[in-house]
Amino acid sequence: MTTNDAEREKELSAAAAVALVEDGMVVGLGTGSTAKHAVRMIGERVRAGLKIRGIPTSSVTKTQADQEGIPLVGFDEITKIDLTIDGADEFDPHLRLTKGGGGALLFEKIVAAASDRLIVVCDAKKEVPFLGAFPLPVEVVPFGWQQVAARIKELGAQAGLRTRSDGKPFVTDAHHYILDCRFGEIRDPPALARALDAIVGVVEHGLFIDLADRVILAEGDRVREIKRH
Ligand code: A5P
């Protein structure tokens, strides 16, 4: 598959999700290369008259939404989000996700948890039988991160501090670090989620369980929808 094919799939998937957006909705705006297409398409619809309010999941998405002219709201102005459109790094047959490849997992999970519906948009290579080929991002407090990495290693993973191109630690929008953790095949995601939640210093992890309602996946020119039962 070429880069162009993957981009085309991302666009097709995003377009199908954006078609679900209706007047009056509060819409969660995801982060990443697929969600970016969705935000652009929502912008086009807003400029054509769609009346919605958006809530971005990262500073990058906020900047894009501002440029697109999408009216934004904060959590002080709303009680819930009608629909969120976001990408994923992997999803399994139970629509459990790995997220955080772009480093926005904390805000993404807060927005997803406040949403009536989370629609995941992605290209075909994100579908996996088991999560784990993609290293699991874990957001941690910078103070004592080495201790947190040691606890995660005890769970059976190699945990590496995410760094920027200049070698300095990558810092999230909430001023935390990210540990990219290689567990191999994750056979029991809820058990791993509980174990990570129990480590002091872990802010959040990229396992999204029971949050996604639907995955809209493009495979070549074909768009497929998978709903969670
Ligand atoms: C951002 O932190 C991530 O959760 C993204 O949603 C995820 O990495 C998917 O991104 P792509 O659409 O760029 O693959």
Averages of pLDDT over runs of 10 residues in the chain (229 residues) are 84 98 98 98 98 98 98 96 98 98 98 98 95 98 98 97 98 98 98 98 98 96 93
What pLDDT score was predicted for residue 4? 83
Which atom of ligand 1 is nearest to 126's Cα?
Answer: 14
As a whole number of angstroms, the distance between CA 177 and CA 138 comes to 8
Question: Is 108 one of the catalytic residues?
Answer: yes
Instruction: List the one residue out of 18, 15, 1 whose CA is nearest residue 219.
Output: 1
Of all protein residues, whose CA lies closest to atom 12 belonging to ligand 1? Answer: 34
Contact 89 CB / ligand 1 (< 6 Å): yes
Dist. CA 88 → ligand 1 center (Å): 5
Contact 158 CB / ligand 1 (< 6 Å): no
Contact 30 CB / ligand 1 (< 6 Å): yes
Extended strands (E) in the chain: 26-29, 53-56, 81-86, 90-91, 97-98, 115-123, 136-140, 158-161, 177-182, 202-205, 207-208, 214-219, 222-227
Do β-strands 158-161 and 177-182 pair in parallel, antiparallel, or remain unpaired? antiparallel
As a whole number of angstroms, the distance between CA 161 and CA 140 comes to 10
Dist. CA 213 → ligand 1 center (Å): 17
143-149: which pairs have CB atoms within 8 A and are 24 or more residues apart?
A: 143/201, 144/201, 145/177, 145/179, 145/201, 147/201, 148/179, 148/199, 148/200, 148/201, 148/202, 149/179
Contact 189 CB / ligand 1 (< 6 Å): no
What pLDDT score was predicted for residue 1? 64
Per the rule left: phi > 0, alpha: psi between -120 and 50, beta: everything else, 167 is left
Mutate to test the pocket of ligand 1, among 7, 10, 33 (most ligand atoms within 8 A of CB): 33
Give 170: exposed, middle or buried? Use CB within 10 Å, 0-12, 13-18, 19+: middle
What pLDDT score was predicted for residue 81? 98
List the catalytic residue out of 68, 108, 139, 204: 108
